[in-house]
Structure formats: structure tokens, C-alpha cells
Amino acid sequence: MISAPLRFAPILKDRPWGQEIWWVADRPQDASQVSEGPFAGSTLHDLMATEAESLLGPQARRGTRFPLLIKTLKAKDWLSIQAHPADGPEAKTEAWYVLDASPAAEVLLGADGPVDPARLPAGMRRHPLRRGDAALVPAGTPHAVGPGLTLAEVQQNADTTYRLHDWGRTDRTLQIREALAAIAKAANPPAPRPLAEAGISCPSFRLSLRGLPWKAPGGRCVLIGAAEGSFQISWAGGRTAPLSEGWWLLPASLGPYVLEGEGSVLEASV
């Protein structure tokens, strides 16, 4: 039984275009490792093999993978124009929350008609982004993140990317046929908007913004990350240290808890 929040050591991935920090991951080559407490040293994959019901609730099956992957993206150049599989085991819907944005920051999200790989980025829908904005990126949607953005990304546990256009970079392969097949199965998503106006919801997860303090009854799996400022978690068994970057996993077996601090937090639930 897991009776306390879990914090994982970050997995840092430096890329030519910027940086990814994986906070919660259960992938074959990238499994988050618990950094403190009784389960320190165990990976999230280990815990899904032995404590799946404690993590996700009685409906969970041991030996499956944790359903979500959570990252921070820090882009200093354009990411590739890409799409993710629209179905199958690697289908990936994701959501972005803007933690920071330069004045000219923007993303490409959706298209104004059939996508022509030879003309990209022409035909893509451009959206400026500001701190506090959020966007849902359904599986199959063509998209690209622009420079000057720091995003929290909540997604299905998948890591397959089909690239359509890579801004003249030649060190990575394009998967144009696969990308176009995925795009054909997706409709354009709504334009980004402040997450505070409404949460983001899809069949795989929900992302909400919570002001502090916040009291919750527990009993379900949620992941909590800082949106602004810092926060700490109190529950019957203790209290965490303040956290301003990164995420805590609160297992379904945890009882009532209180989030306290200055600012606001992101809550992702399965």
C-alpha cells in the first residue's frame, strides 16, 4: 500500500532545439525513479507491477504501464511539424499549459485544409500563446511548438512521432506517409485559451488549474505540478517540502489532502 505522495527524479533530455524534462514516465527505456521516501529507488514501472491498485484504484491491472506521461518542454527553436498516431497502442493525445512565453511566442495547431508537405508551414493555423494559456492536441493533429515557450505537457503514455517538416534540419528522418494517414483521422481542435476559463478534458485524462489552498477528498490518482509559485501537500501522514518545479503523484490509496502555497497548481487526473 502506498500511503504518501510520490516524487520522481527528473529525466533530462537536451535537444538541439531546446530541452525536455520528463517528470512522470513509464516507457521501456525511460522509467521515472522515486527520489525519496519508503519507495526510493523503485521505478514507476516497478510500482505498476506490484502496486497498480494502490496507484490507480481497484480497476487497475498489475503489469500494465502507467497511463500518462508528463514533461516540461523548453523550446529555443521551432520543433518539427508533426503528428502522433491517431489509433493503436501508440495513439497520443496531449495537452499543453504555458508556463512561460516570450512576447512573440506561437504554435502551429491544425490546418486550414489538406496538408501539403511541400508547402509547410503554409496552411497551418498559427496561434499566439501567453502564460496561462492551454491547448488540447488530439491524436493525429498536425502541430509544432515555437521558440520562446516553456510548456507543461500532459499526454497519453506514448512516444511515437511522425515528422512532416523539420525547418531545414537534415539529421532526422521524416515520416510523411504515416503523418498524413494520422492527420486524415483528426479534426482541428479548438484554439488555445486560458486554462482558468475551463479545464481540458479528453477520454484519457483531464487537466485543471487549481487556486490555493485546495482541499480534496483523495481516493483517486492525480498528478500535481506547479503552475505559478510553489506549493506543498499535507495529508494524514505528513507534509511535503515546498515544490516550485516538477510533479507529485498522489495515489488513489491516499486519503484526504490539502494543497497550500502561493499561486496555483496544475492537476492532471486519469
Residues involved in catalysis: 163
Q: Which residues contact 80 (CB under 8 A, 6 or more apart)?
A: 144, 161, 163, 164, 165, 166, 167, 169, 172
Measured between its terminal Cα atoms, the distance across the chain in Å is 19
Where does the chain show beta strands of DSSP type E? Answer: 6-7, 11-15, 18-24, 68-75, 81-83, 94-101, 106-111, 124-128, 133-137, 143-145, 149-156, 162-165, 193-194, 200-201, 206-211, 214-216, 222-235, 238-239, 247-250, 257-269
Backbone phi and psi for residue 39, each to the nearest 5 degrees, phi listed first: -100, 15
User: For residue 182, what are the contacts with CB-CB under 8 A and spacing of at least 6?
Assistant: 83, 84, 85, 86, 139, 140, 162
